[in-house]
Amino acid sequence: MNATALEIDRKVLEMLVCTLTKTRLSLSADRTELISVAARLAFPIRQGVPMLSLDEAREIDPAELERTLPDLHRDN
């Protein structure tokens, strides 16, 4: 496991929310980012620490969102 993919405690993950939308975040399939589906943002995880600043986030398009979170069930 590389330094960016260190384990994040599930209880901590459940408490974290997107800084823009205040909605729940999902862990990416490769476990290197926290994804805000509502904002279409990916927040990096560095050395096990989520970087939740909007300056650190990158935008993701719907196709990438589907690849990053393939098990995601959306209503739309």
The predicted model scores a pTM of: 0.80
Per residue in 2-20, pLDDT (tens digit) is 444 456 777 888 899 999 9
Going by pLDDT thresholds of 50, 70 and 90, the confidence category of residue 70 is low
Listed in sequence order, the residues at least 6 apart from 65 whose beta carbon sits closer than 8 Å to its beta carbon are: 35, 37, 40, 72
Q: What is the per-residue DSSP string for 23-71?
A: -B-EE-TTSSEEEETTTTEEEEEETTEE---TTT-EE--HHHHHHHSTT
For residue 10, what is the DSSP state? H
- Residue of 25, 23, 45 lying closest to 33 (CA atoms): 45
Are 43 and 34 in contact by the 8 Å Cβ rule? The answer is: yes
CATH number, domain 3-60, options 1.10.357.10, 3.40.50.300, 3.90.660.10, 2.20.25.10:
2.20.25.10
